[in-house]
Structure 1
Amino acid sequence: METVALALQDDHTNDLVFRAAAGRNSEIITGKRIPDGTGLTGRVIREGQGIVVPSVRQEPAYSEADKLGGIEMRAIAIAPIQSQGKVIVVLEAINPISGTFDPDALVVMTGLGSLAGTTIQNAELFEQLQRAHQHYRELFEDSIDTILITDWNGKVLEANRQAATLSGHAVGKLHSMHIGELHDVNWSKTGLNFDVLKHSDGCSYEASLRRADGGTTPIEVYARRAEFDDTDSIQWILRDITARKELDELRDDMTSMIFHDIRSPLGNIVSSLEMMSGLMPVDETLNSMLNIARNSTARIQRLVNSLLDINRLEAGQQILD
């Protein structure tokens, strides 16, 4: 055989692209494209059956698309390589040295094609798996959240760049640490020995991350069961909530300040009402209006005091009678 060539279908255009060739003019063939559905190869793909053309000059279906850049073709055999019922590759044998193809040439090519089809399909699946792993790895490393992967004993197996940034520990150092060294695990949420995580969709809670410099950072923890590099593991997402905590503290301070500021003018109003009560002449209508004002201010005072008590409770302070 003067030349043998292998073409794969492009997933996007369905064109045939020659990926490998051996023999005469092989360097010209590699990279050539045959548009989808054209020429003899198009017929082979449509019908899923190989063909042998002893003389291309006498074959009406032979077209410019089959010439592969001006290669002189006298005879050609084309065999489809199938996987899962779909033609994925075409194998071409061009110009037998003896001048004619053996009667069993197509059978041999089809047999070789069947073996090659399985190998190629497995190679494509492996490549897809590698791409998926790479994509996951990039997402893992580029996440703005701290992500840690631990085994079921809590030992850190993997840590992304943000984990090193937030904790102050080098990635290598993190790999030698236990998750409990970085924060106090809420065992009531995760279960002892992480038993809850084994049978649930995960859990979340707030904690403090212990940094390398001795300080702490408030974090929100989300833990769940995950598979990482084919290993049953626990994924920990630690989100820095410093800004949220500061905002909550500012809100509480402002709320407390507003309530305290309301109490002072309310006290003045109550005092003024009492003074007016002593100066006003005895009049049923005036006394009724004065009582309404007293009751309303008393209700406002009770409401403000209740809100202040709630604010103290949220801050962890005791309420004094």
Structure 2
Amino acid sequence: MAAESGWKIIRSTVQHSILLYPSLNKDLMTTENTSLQKILIINAEIQSNRLLDQIIQSMGFTVLVSESIENAQQYFTLNIPSMVIINENIATQNNFNWIKSIRQKYPLLPIILYTINEKHQTLKQALRLGINDYLSTPLTREDIQNSIQANLSHSQTLRNYVLLESRRATQQLQARVNDLETLTDLARMVTSSLDVDVVLRMIVEAAVELTGAEEGSLLLIDENTGELYMRASRNFNEDFVSTFRLPVNDSLIGSVVQHGKVVIFDDNTPQKIKTSYLVHSLVYIPLKLKEQIIGVLGVDNRNKRMVFSQRDIGLLTTMAEYAVIAIENSRIFSEMVVERTKLETIINQIEDGVLVLDNNFRILVINEIAKTVLRVSGEHLIGSPIQMYPIDSELLEIIKKFETYLGKSAEINSDDERVFSAHLSKITNIGYAITLHDITSLKKMDRIKSDFVSTVSHDLRSPLTAILGYVDLVERAGPVQDLQKSFLDRIQFSVHNITNLVDDLLNLGRIEAGFDTRKEHLDLSIFTHQAIDELNPKILQSNIRLKINVPDSIGLIYASPIQMRQLLNNLLTNAIKYSKPDTTISVNLQEKESQLILQIEDQGFGIPAVDLPYIFDKFYRSGNVIGTEIPGSGLGLAIVKSIVESHQGRIWVDSTVGQGSTFTVVFPVSE
């Protein structure tokens, strides 16, 4: 090593050196390894330096000399000596502060003070700073050698102690880390595995491994007999495990169940747990679920005389909690599977199709009938988006605009020519439900009824016309009495009503049969204004105000002009008929999102909620108008609905009894 400014190396016969301190990761060294150690002398007196150098080199050490604290500080930035010998003349107050900092940074570094006068105050201050020893004049070889050897030996002893304690602490820390890793693995298994037997077996094996026990077991209470049986074990004979039964009363393990407290046993004399089951030491931890003891986790030693520690008890307590969680998770999952199986059985046994979707329209529940009707198949239906399957286009449109159709029904035709009524409803916090009810027989009966009504209507039209003709002839044949005139008026009124009914039936029959299908692109606003103008006299006669919000022009629809006139006439007539005097009828027409929305609102009787689902059925009249003098056949709204459906539109009504009704019709704007 080259000499540095202000300090120098006085070489010994050994030219190599290593750093003994502060590293504690080297193999333990003894003071016999003197050739590997350096001693730093901080002293400006040449004569004493020569003496110290001669004696220290004779001991086999490398000597480093610095004539000032500043140069010594520079050396400390490059290397750390094995010992420092400092002259009191250099150890001034400021330099004492440097010694203090060195002592704080290198607490095991031996520092010897070289003093001439042995001043009491100086020695006292030096000792308080942590000076290990001092040398005073006259210097003798024996004093120097004894001081150096004693302090190096003491320093090495301290290093060895620190190293051993560090290793011990590291081992303890590593053991704790291993414990935590094992517990983490168990926790991960508890939360991820539904096989409770595998989880419990792993818990018992971990309990044996971490505590160093010879055996481990997890016992549960048999709900039928009340006895304890082994659900999982480690290092027990299989026959012993399969036949193990232990009453809760009058047994050591049973006391854990009865009192819910940890039991620890350690004795040179083996304790009998059961016949052929003797142990020297054991720990039993209760498995507690909601203040109820459901079993016991235990480890024991049959041969070893090993006492279980508080660490063991802590680990076992944590693993017992994991076992309880695993058992409870398994129970909940089993119950869930049973309940789901029941639900699936019930849903598959009912005659209606059932489809439940989440808020993202993914399938949650679907039964076999719904699969058939909707043409949905595959192994992984649950969780799949309903849109990915080739379901009925009308139903798909309904699903896309679910909120518009909530609480309403739509008809779906299946591949086997059956007709289903699809009813849509909202399920809070889950999604949507669609029920599919087979109405094929009802539709067939409805067709038969329609055919019959159509036939009868045609057959009635001719005699009704004849009756009206003869009534007119009677009046022309000669004077009639007032009573006779009254009878004739009644006949004429009744025949007109029947004729109107027959006309409605024939119109409905034509619409349902697909007649009057001549369609064209038309402006519904023009037709709306025309219908209002035609009915204006009746509106004035009924003392009703009219509020019109209809633009002069609007998007075109592709529709039958005849049927649009009939639709508007029926809706407006219905509003006029059921409105009270001095009230308002509002007519609104607007275009929104490629759709025409027509709304006719009255302030009439309103429709009871119980009648709303049937208000568009043939011959149906609301219960709160039956018996009144308001005439009606119950066919006007049925005709409106048929017209709307034949134009791919939608119609619904919102009503409050005593406040009125609002009929809403939606048609797609033609492209």
Q: TM-score, normalised by structure 2?
A: 0.32
Which of 296, 300, 305 is matched with 2:498 structurally?
A: 300
SS of equivalent to 1:108:
helix
Residue-by-residue CA offset, 1:80-125 (whole Å, 9 max, x unaligned): 134676544312457x42497x543686356224224315524652
Residue-by-residue CA offset, 1:135-169 (whole Å, 9 max, x unaligned): 647856973637598997x9999986556655778
Give matches, 1:142-157, under 5 Å: 143=348, 145=353
Give matches, 1:69-218, under 5 Å: 71-72=275-276, 77-82=283-288, 87-92=293-298, 96-98=301-303, 102-104=306-308, 108=312, 111-119=315-323, 121-122=325-326, 124-125=328-329, 128-129=332-333, 132=336, 136=340, 143=348, 145=353, 162=369, 165-166=372-373, 171=378, 179=388, 181-185=390-394, 189-191=398-400, 206=410, 208=412, 211=415, 218=419
SS of equivalent to 2:497:
helix
* Amino acid across the alignment from 1:112: L
Distance 1:208 1:265 in 2: 40
SS of equivalent to 1:44:
helix
Which of 228, 232, 238 is matched with 1:20 structurally?
A: 232
Measured at CA, do residues 44 and 182 of structure 1 come closer, stay the same or move farther in structure 2, by a change above 3 Å?
A: same
Provide the alpha-carbon RMSD of the alignment.
5.7
Which of 286, 303, 310 is matched with 2:484 structurally?
A: 286
% identical aligned pairs: 20
Q: How many residues align?
A: 293
Residue-by-residue CA offset, 1:40-77 (whole Å, 9 max, x unaligned): 5554235331224679xxx9xx9xxx86xxx3555675
* Amino acid across the alignment from 2:392: H
Distance 2:485 2:297 in 1: 107
* Amino acid across the alignment from 1:181: P
Distance 1:103 1:208 in 2: 76
Distance 1:200 1:288 in 2: 52
Q: Say whether the 8 Å CA contact 2:464–2:499 is kept in structure 1.
A: yes
SS of equivalent to 1:182:
coil
Measured at CA, do residues 254 and 122 of structure 1 come closer, stay the same or move farther in structure 2, by a change above 3 Å?
A: farther
SS of equivalent to 1:5:
strand
Give matches, 1:237-256, under 5 Å: 241-256=439-454
* Amino acid across the alignment from 1:108: D
1:47 aligned onto 2:259? yes
Distance 1:31 1:253 in 2: 79
Measured at CA, do residues 138 and 25 of structure 1 come closer, stay the same or move farther in structure 2, by a change above 3 Å?
A: same
Which of 213, 218, 239 is matched with 1:6 structurally?
A: 218
Distance 2:481 2:377 in 1: 82
Shift in Å, 1:290: 2.9
Measured at CA, do residues 184 and 281 of structure 1 come closer, stay the same or move farther in structure 2, by a change above 3 Å?
A: same
Measured at CA, do residues 216 and 46 of structure 1 come closer, stay the same or move farther in structure 2, by a change above 3 Å?
A: same
Which 5+ residue runs of structure 2 have no aligned equivalent?
Answer: 1-212, 517-561, 567-671
Distance 1:121 1:24 in 2: 24
Distance 1:291 1:92 in 2: 103
Shift in Å, 1:288: 2.8
Distance 2:389 2:225 in 1: 53
Distance 1:234 1:272 in 2: 61
Distance 1:201 1:277 in 2: 56
Residue-by-residue CA offset, 1:262-320 (whole Å, 9 max, x unaligned): 55664565456456656787433333333333333333333443455456556665469
* Amino acid across the alignment from 1:121: I
Q: Say whether the 8 Å CA contact 2:228–2:246 is kept in structure 1.
A: yes
Residue-by-residue CA offset, 1:164-190 (whole Å, 9 max, x unaligned): 655778647x99x96463321567644
Measured at CA, do residues 202 and 20 of structure 1 come closer, stay the same or move farther in structure 2, by a change above 3 Å?
A: farther
Distance 2:414 2:480 in 1: 70
* Amino acid across the alignment from 2:318: S
Q: Which of these two proteins has the greater Rg computed from alpha carbons?
A: 2
* Amino acid across the alignment from 1:115: M
Measured at CA, do residues 206 and 297 of structure 1 come closer, stay the same or move farther in structure 2, by a change above 3 Å?
A: closer
SS of equivalent to 1:89:
strand
Measured at CA, do residues 307 and 14 of structure 1 come closer, stay the same or move farther in structure 2, by a change above 3 Å?
A: farther
Distance 2:238 2:314 in 1: 21
Distance 1:254 1:38 in 2: 83
Q: Say whether the 8 Å CA contact 1:80–1:110 is kept in structure 2.
A: no
